[in-house]
Amino acid sequence: MGRARTTLILIAAMLLALRAAAPYWIAHRINNIPPGKSPYRWQVADVDLRLFSASYDLRGVTLHKEGIPAPMFTADRVTSAFRPGEIFRTRTVDLEAFRPSLNLRLGRDSTDAGPGPDWGSMLHRLSLFRVSGLTIHNGEIVFLDQAADPDVDIRLEDVAVVAENLYRAGGDTAHWAGLKARGRLMGSGKFTLCTRIHPEAGSPAFEFDFTLKNMDLPRMNSALRAYAGVSVKKGRMDLETHATASGGKYRGSIRTGLYDFEISDTRQKDRGLAESLKNKAADLLGNVLEWKSEKNQEEGKPAPKADFSGTFPEEVGDAWSMSEYLLKEAFRRGVEP
């Protein structure tokens, strides 16, 4: 009886020691992982371990890019949890991020050049395990393009994301990896995004759906001027696009609804003839699309539809960057005259 009690005391002491030491070990591993060829590095302020639920909280999480003082990613808390019964079989975890902020920056500086982070690898380095699921609560995404003229500043607020089947052991093809997101764009339009990816395909194969409802266009004028060469005085836009991709090519359709539209006055002395003609063409095409949109709305029909297709640029090589490219392409085609 005495030996059994001693054994139990030793086991309890070992568990208490593990409970006390593990948070420091986890923080040390994350904060001191050599970045290798990657210019990105995680920093964690504190770790709160919960042994009985097989989970732990990372607090004060930041992601820095070498040469840029402002963090690329911050979160009040990131929870990493093993799925019941999976801790020894697949060693995968689910991540939950609370109040995260992601800052995407393009600019003329050399530190902004090159591809973005490999998010699968980055999440692995943060959690120390393979990540199967990701949930984001009340997130924010800021996109700043200082290489454009003028600078483009786009913000997404109240972002909620659920991503599933990001990593599977073995050749399981029963479930595609998927991501669903919703939120608000520039404090105005409500957006939803759904991407389903076939991870075992030789070349990325996926489906892409994006909708944007009741977007106040003047709030997007920096992007409109930089990417489409026009400026809007007033107007609302609905945008809906669906696309599929495989073998480096994509094909899809886009519906654009335009309402209460008026282009900005371009009668300025510094406007050239070509720019003036472009603005007049945009005004005309915008009025035609507005008329079609309102007519379809009165008749209970969806917004006008157009098909599009193309080939991804060589530098866009993985499914997530292809989804990002399609998102930009959908917006460009939706607003460009």
What is the predicted pLDDT for the residue at 43?
A: 93
The Cα–Cα gap between 320 and 158 comes to 21
**Residue pair 44/30 in contact by the 8 Å Cβ criterion:** yes
Instruction: List the chain pLDDT tens, one digit each, 337 residues.
Output: 566 666 666 666 665 666 567 778 888 888 887 656 778 899 999 998 887 777 889 999 999 988 888 899 999 999 999 876 665 566 788 999 999 999 887 765 545 555 567 787 888 889 888 888 999 999 999 988 887 778 888 899 999 999 988 875 444 455 678 899 999 999 999 999 998 887 655 667 888 899 999 999 889 888 878 777 778 888 888 888 999 988 888 998 888 887 887 777 544 444 454 454 445 444 444 554 553 455 456 556 566 778 888 898 887 777 777 887 888 787 777 666 5
The Cα–Cα gap between 215 and 224 comes to 13
What is the predicted pLDDT for the residue at 303?
A: 66
What's the angle, vertex CA 150, arms to CA 267 and CA 142, rounded to 5? 135
The Cα–Cα gap between 55 and 59 comes to 13
Sign of CA dihedral 135, 179, 204, 316: negative
Residues 6+ apart with CB under 8 A from 261: 217, 232, 234, 235, 236, 286, 287, 289, 290
What is the predicted pLDDT for the residue at 222?
A: 86
Residue 311 to residues 244, 250, 322, 324, Cα–Cα distance (Å): 12, 6, 10, 14
User: Which pTM value belongs to this model?
Assistant: 0.79
What is the predicted pLDDT for the residue at 136?
A: 96
Beta bridge partners of 47: 58
